[in-house]
Chains A and B, each alone.
Chain A
């Protein structure tokens, strides 16, 4: 019981670190691809958190495992759409710098 709580704490710290790295990527980086990578890091962090929350004495709960797998596949779909949009952005703007995407205004 004590051991499970310790393992949970370690993984939760890892989740917080991953969330911080992902948010840093999205906020600070100017490259579209790095922003997509940041989104994927955030998705991975939340998937890890689902597994940590399902951690018990007899391993990870089946519900947590199924939720993590479905969440991973949804994350892959989002990455695919995002990368397709990055390609289209490059075709129009000839750059993947987010600062150049400023034409759309009120």
Chain B
């Protein structure tokens, strides 16, 4: 029997990925219908549906605090598992809300550009990656969604490839962030080597069971693996903050120039 509540976890990811996948077809349909704004409306609609499913999901979270779902019925330690509590839904709502705002602002801001089907497709996969990171129940799944987010992000940074700033920033961002992701994957592989699973809850259970038997030399290696994961995921976060500060600084200078 299919558990509808646990399947609800998949809906935001399925809706966004499907919309991203059909975006080239929507472009062809637009040309036939002579209606040039279909992809924008599809993007906003899919993010709105995603927000609606998140609000339903939030009501379904039980009192003990979490919901879980396994992809294609494969249970841990082998299957891909999603794990959702109130904090993950909170983060997913933030990602979707910001994505919806970006889609609304892009309606006018991006109208001078071409290839907007790719732009909106990338925006949707970016949001999917972020939601997947919030929902991931195992470390490798987390890495896969992280990379989905990163690859969309590199492409979006260098979307206006006719400008040198976009290309230079995109390449620098790619090199920095990819090295970080590889370091994180190395840490994940060490965790896998120690526990023979990448499921976070399974790792926690096995660690608590093995705590008494751990040799003194094994403890630093586990700290090393955890440190690699944290240090690996940090550069991408730093890039985001860097970009936010750079943008705010440029805005401030622009405003000052206009006022003076």
Contacts and interface: CB of A to CB of B under 8 A. Distances in A.
Interface of A: 19, 26, 32, 35, 39, 42-43, 46, 49-50, 52-54, 61-64, 67, 70-71, 74, 77-78, 81-82, 85-86, 88-89, 92-93, 101, 103-104, 106
A103 B165 CA distance: 8
Contacts of A106: 246, 249
B155 A35 contact: no
B78 interface: yes
Contact of B168 (A43, A81, A101): A101
B179 A26 contact: yes
B227 to A, nearest CB: 16
B231 interface: no
Contacts of B190: 49, 53
A82 B155 CA distance: 10
Contacts of B185: 46, 50, 71
Nearest to B147: A74
B77 interface: yes
Given A50-B189, A89-B168, A101-B172, A77 B151 contact: yes
Given A53-B189, A62-B78, A77-B151, A88 B179 contact: no
Interface string B163-196: 0110111111011001100100110011011001
Chain A contact surface mostly: helix
Given A42-B179, A67-B140, A103 B164 contact: yes
A61 B196 contact: yes
Given A39-B179, A85-B170, A78 B189 contact: no
A88 B167 contact: yes
B167 A39 contact: no
B253 to A, nearest CB: 11
Q: How large is the interface on B (under 10, 10 to 19, 20 to 34, 35 or more residues)?
A: 35 or more
B140 A92 contact: no
26 contacts: A26-B175, A32-B171, A39-B182, A49-B189, A49-B190, A50-B189, A54-B192, A54-B193, A54-B196, A63-B198, A64-B192, A67-B198, A71-B143, A78-B151, A81-B151, A81-B154, A81-B174, A85-B158, A85-B167, A88-B158, A88-B170, A92-B168, A93-B164, A101-B168, A104-B168, A104-B169
B147 A78 contact: yes
Interface in B189-246: 189-190, 192-193, 196-198, 246
5 tightest A-B contacts by CB? A53-B193, A92-B164, A88-B167, A50-B189, A85-B171
B161 interface: yes
B144 interface: yes
A68 to B, nearest CB: 9
A49 B186 contact: yes
A85 to B, nearest CB: 5
A14 B110 CA distance: 48
A86 B155 CA distance: 13
